Amino acid sequence: MATTECMLLGVMALDCYVAICYPLRYPVIMSKGAYMLMAAGSWVSGLVDSVVQTSLAMQLPFCANNVINHFVCEILAILKLACADISINVISMAGSNLIFLVISLLVISISYIFIVAAILRIPSTEGKRKAFSTCSAHLTVVIIFYGTIFFMYAKPKSKESVGTDNQDITEALISLFYGVMTPMLNPLIYSLRNKE
Residue 64 counted as domain residue = yes
pTM for this entry = 0.79
Domain encompassing residue 24: 2-190
Amino acid at 32: K
Tens of pLDDT along 35-57? 899 999 999 999 999 999 989 98
- The three-state DSSP-derived secondary structure of 12-33 is HHHHHHHHHHCCCCHHHHCCHH
- For the chain, the farthest-separated pair of C-alpha atoms sits apart, in whole angstroms, at 66
Residue 196 counted as domain residue = no
Tens of pLDDT along 133-182? 878 888 888 888 888 777 766 655 544 444 444 455 666 677 777 777 77
Q: Which range (78-92, 95-109, 180-194) has the least confidence? A: 180-194
Element (H, E) at 55: helix 32-58
Q: Report the number of distinct structural domains present in the chain.
A: 1
pLDDT at 114: 95
Show Cβ contacts of residue 137 under 8 Å, excluding neighbours closer than 6 positions: 189, 190, 192, 193
